[in-house]
A and B are shown apart, each in its own frame.
Chain A
Amino acid sequence: MSAHADTHDHDEHHHHKETFVTKYIFSQDHKMIAKQYLITGTIMGVIGIVMSLMFRMQIAWPEEPNVIFEALLGKWAPDGVMDADIYLALVTIHGTIMVFFVLTAGLSGTFSNLLIPLQIGARDMASGFLNMVSYWLFFLSSVVMVISLFVSAGPAAAGWTIYPPLSALPLAQGGSGAGMTLWLVSMAIFIASSLLGSLNYIVTVLNLRTKGMSMTRLPLTIWAFFITAVIGVISFPVLLSAALLLIMDRSFGTSFFLSDIFIQGEVLHYQGGSPVLFEHLFWFLGHPEVYIVLLPALGITSEIIATNSRKPIFGYRAMVASILAIAFLSTIVWGHHMFISGMNPFLGSVFTFTTLLIAIPSAVKAFNYITTLWKGNLQLNPAMLFSIGLVSTFITGGLTGIILGDSALDINVHDTYFVVAHFHLVMGISALYGMFAGIYHWFPKMFGRMLNKNLGYIHFWVTAVCAYGVFFPMHFIGMAGLPRRYYTNSNFPLFDDTADTNVIITVFALVGGVFQLVFLWNFFYSMFYGKKTVQNPWRSNTLEWTAPIKHIHGNWEGEIPHVHRWPYDYSKPGHDDDFVPQHIPMKEGEEELHH
């Protein structure tokens, strides 16, 4: 659709009849695609979380028989005792699913699709067809990833970072056979999906904004989704190339990443390659990926905190600038994952410098959120609680980044549980909170019904307590030197005094995991039986709430609303209501304050 089509009555383009298949399955409507992403992401999320609960139980009660293992792992848990190979596979697939399938596709896929056209005032994505292809590629990659769990030699088990040679040699590990092949195939499809999605988001934001919607009037959600898509387009292709080169090494005898290997009694032919090269390629995506996960969550939070504080977001320009700064810096910090990889120590110095710089825009964001709350009229809806929770875990998790980003200190805590605690809080839990916040806030827009708020409150508080219960003590066992990805610590009496802490962590994880059922129940029940929503339940300024509750193709009947102001005119003096939606024209003499 081209921009000038906006002014025409759009319905004439869509007179063809919708069948069940074109409406619910091969839909090209961004709102339906958003729902498809959300449901697929939720299912993958359940798989990922159940996996984490299983390996947490193994860590807490090592090598003890467990009926859950017996039921779910089958031959991988003879007599109910978890096998060491499947432990690593669970860790690997948990990471892969949560980072890519839930917090990239599930989060960006859902909310970029839902909100970009609705908040900028467009009929749909720039290319509905590509959007549909993007979702179905994601679906296909999810299916391949799930199928890889059932390979007889075991799923990929080299860690989600799949460093070769471990991931390249079936001789090194059962999971590096067919399981890894399927992992790579799945990821290649996933990347294609992600790129199609990102291109679509970028083009849509740049070309299809409604009249009056200048870039400086974009809601911060859109800024975040837009920049996220840009980072994705820059960095995902590099992972694709790494995956393809790894496939070449595995299947066609090349030596990009392999050299001088003696394994299982034989010398392999590989010569001249370097695993460090793979690490560079991987983290060139891997680190920006952190922000691909996090920025949309921060965007969602900005929007929800402003709306529910009934206040303008504090420092709109600084917020946009910090998103841009984070995006730029995120592409030049990947080496901080590799301080002790054997690369030149001088590079370590450079990456320490760039990495710690990221703390500055991050701090600006955190302070601006807090200032937005100040003297607000806070509506503590579940979405708002999750947003405040996000700021809390973002601070707690982010602060330890100044230790890990400092190469000298990283020597000692690298790959310990300290790292696990750090990244789970700062990107895992924070992004998950962002996703939950988004779901609670835009559920009415997606399904025309409200989520039950009391269940939302229960969900938030139990999750919040458990998240800290799991990850806060984890810093300390990390500083005690406990390495991550150990099947059991019982071979190290040195770590015997961390065993109790590990049990506590697992109990918190189990409780937190089980209480996600409250959310799932609320989600699926409310979809069909929840209370019907009103037009603008949160009294929000953004354009999506002007679109009819019942979804129509093309989003608005008649003309798309024009935009006359920025999206954060909450509690503006001179107005009776405490919100002034973007499509309301300026009163005479009224000034747009933020310019």
Chain B
Amino acid sequence: MTALLSIIVLVFIAIAIWQLIKIFDLAQAANSSSDENSEVANDKDNKTQGRLMLAFLAFIYIITIVCFIKLGDLPLMSNSASEHGPTIDNLMIISMVIIFIVQTITQFLLHYFAYKYKGEKGKKALYYADNDKLEFIWTIIPVIVLAGLIISGLFAWTDIMDVSDEEDPLVVELYAQQFNWKARYGGEDNTLGMANVRLIDIDRANILGVDESDPNAQDDVITTELHLPVGRPVLFKMRSQDVLHSAYMPHFRAQMNCVPGMITQFGFTPTVTTAEMRQNPDIIDKVANINKIRVRNSEKLVAKGEDALERYEFDYLLLCNKICGKSHYNMQMKIIVETQEEYDAWMKEQKVFAKSLVAN
């Protein structure tokens, strides 16, 4: 299929070049009989190009509208699943509205002027070099708008990044390595044991380099799925064992890099359980749409003798969002937000660190 497509593209290239050479030759022949400035735009060119400018303005508007209708259903701009999410979403919407207004007006002026004032022989432009008042106006308007954005942005940022004011947060370590994620919970005492990659002992299955002698470490729990109780603040401590990774949790409007040699942190409070989110009408629509696409793709795969795709069910995800090597594109971990009871039940099933070690 792609091979065929590529060949078609190559053929088109060849045809296009051949056609263009012809146009070019014709143009050259026509030029030789006209005046010496024939490669400079004349009134006819200005007229055509001016109209095209107007058409291009229409194109920009149309592509904007089409994109908003077809792609504007943005799970990232509504349906956040964390307490600070709506703050970011509102700020995003305000910024988008400002952008939309400015974009619509300035593109109109630019392209409309290009059409309206297209050149004509004998016409003289207005000699208009300066106007301090105008300059002042369009300096001061952005200043006011930006001041508003900066202030609200800074309040939101400070609020989100300040993790010290959370009372009794659940402490979870996110541990990144090429190319998977682990989560470590503090256990009963909600305190993580000391850890360093120098303490990694593969033979004893101490894969996170947790300090075996640290009393706080004994009841730590290491998992490959991230479970969070709804409504309780979570404080993530992030580590990486090899290269930079980034813990990106788009549904929670959360992201922080994992940096080898240091511990980074990010905190949020999940507000919607996975089960609730699956019942959200927007998400039901999105999932249905995705499954329609998957059924379509499955048909093609089955026809080729391959397995069909699994049905998609909504889950929160943690993705790696900092280039980290060959399998960067498949470094993910499922996040499950659940009620406190469900969380406690799940936690009870997990093995604590002291018991997960293999004796030498």
Contacts and interface: CB of A to CB of B under 8 A. Distances in A.
Nearest to B202: A265
Interface stretch (B138-146, B214-222, B270-278, B338-346): B138-146
16 contacts: A261-B261, A314-B128, A314-B131, A316-B129, A359-B142, A370-B113, A373-B114, A399-B99, A451-B39, A468-B59, A481-B248, A481-B250, A485-B323, A496-B290, A522-B24, A525-B24
Interface of B: 1-3, 5-7, 9, 12-13, 16-17, 20-21, 23-24, 27-28, 31, 36-41, 45-46, 49-50, 52-53, 56, 59-60, 63-64, 67, 71-72, 74-77, 87-88, 91-92, 95-96, 98-99, 102-103, 106-107, 109-111, 113-114, 117-120, 123-131, 134-135, 138-139, 141-143, 146, 149-150, 153-154, 156-158, 160-162, 177-178, 196-198, 200, 202, 209, 238, 241-244, 246, 248, 250, 253-257, 259-262, 264, 286, 289-290, 293-294, 297, 309-310, 312, 317, 319-330, 332
Contacts of A164: 243
Given A166-B324, A411-B254, 18 more contacts: A67-B3, A274-B261, A275-B259, A356-B149, A363-B142, A370-B109, A378-B113, A381-B40, A392-B110, A408-B160, A415-B246, A453-B40, A481-B75, A486-B329, A496-B294, A518-B20, A529-B28, A578-B124
A226 B1 CA distance: 51
A513 to B, nearest CB: 10
A409 B95 contact: yes
Contact of B2 (A66, A368, A416): A66
Contact of B38 (A469, A531, A571): A531
Contacts of A481: 75-76, 248, 250
A156 to B, nearest CB: 12
A3 interface: no
Contacts of B198: 260, 262, 267
Given A263-B178, A408-B88, A345 B157 contact: yes
Contacts, number: 433
B125 A594 contact: no
Contacts of A453: 39-41, 45
Contacts of B17: 517, 521
A572 to B, nearest CB: 5
A312 B127 contact: yes
A80 B71 CA distance: 32
Interface stretch (A26-34, A108-116, A143-151, A347-355): A347-355
Given A379-B119, A480-B76, A497-B286, A166 B243 contact: yes
Contact of A316 (B16, B109, B130): B130
Contacts of A464: 56
A136 B23 CA distance: 38
A534 B36 contact: yes
B284 to A, nearest CB: 14
B329 to A, nearest CB: 4
Nearest to B316: A494
Nearest to B136: A318
A589 interface: no
B89 to A, nearest CB: 9
B260 A275 contact: yes
Contact of A497 (B7, B114, B289, B328): B289
B40 A537 contact: yes
Given A276-B259, A481-B76, A317 B130 contact: yes
Contacts of B103: 395-396, 399
B149 to A, nearest CB: 6
A284 to B, nearest CB: 18
Interface stretch (A188-196, A197-205, A239-247, A470-478): A470-478
Interface stretch (A12-20, A44-52, A57-65, A212-220): A57-65
Interface residues of A, number: 151
Nearest to B134: A371
Contacts of A173: 325-326
Of A263, A376, A518, A568, most B-chain CB atoms within 10 Å: A376
B39 A342 contact: no
A66 B5 CA distance: 9
A305 B16 CA distance: 31
B39 A88 contact: no
- Top 3 nearest A-B pairs (CB, nearest first) are A259-B261, A345-B161, A450-B39
Given A352-B154, A375-B126, A517 B95 contact: no
A315 interface: yes
Given A380-B49, A491-B332, A468 B60 contact: yes
A125 interface: no
Contacts of A159: 323
Contacts of A465: 56, 59
B150 to A, nearest CB: 5
A377 B123 contact: yes
A364 B106 CA distance: 12
A7 interface: no
B95 A406 contact: yes
A571 B261 CA distance: 64
Contacts of A571: 124-127
Contacts of B250: 412, 481
Contact of A388 (B53, B154, B241, B317): B53
Q: Choose among A373, A385, A473, A572 the residue with the greatest number of B CB atoms under 10 Å from its CB.
A: A373
A483 interface: yes
Contacts of A267: 197-198, 200
Nearest to A86: B326
A488 B330 CA distance: 8
A402 B67 contact: no
Given A345-B158, A381-B40, A485-B328, A412 B130 contact: no
A492 interface: yes
A341 B88 contact: no
A356 B250 CA distance: 24
Interface string A441-455: 000000000111111
A545 to B, nearest CB: 13
A499 interface: yes
Given A80-B3, A259-B260, A341-B259, A366 B23 contact: no
Contact of A352 (B23, B28, B128, B150): B150
A469 B178 CA distance: 35
Contact of B146 (A258, A356, A408, A413): A356
A514 interface: yes
A415 B71 contact: no
A142 B297 CA distance: 43
B323 A166 contact: yes
B322 A408 contact: no
Contacts of A275: 244, 259-261
A129 interface: no
B15 to A, nearest CB: 11
A485 B319 CA distance: 12
Interface string A57-83: 100010011111000000000001000
Nearest to B238: A342
A176 B140 CA distance: 49
Contacts of A263: 178, 241-243
A84 B326 contact: yes
A84 B264 CA distance: 29
Contacts of A366: 106
A461 interface: yes
A163 interface: yes
B142 A360 contact: yes
A538 interface: yes
A442 to B, nearest CB: 14
B40 A492 contact: no
B7 to A, nearest CB: 7
A570 interface: yes
A274 B262 contact: yes
Contacts of A416: 321
Given A378-B114, A388-B53, A461-B52, A479 B158 contact: no
B158 A349 contact: yes
Given A342-B264, A375-B126, A262 B200 contact: yes
A407 interface: yes
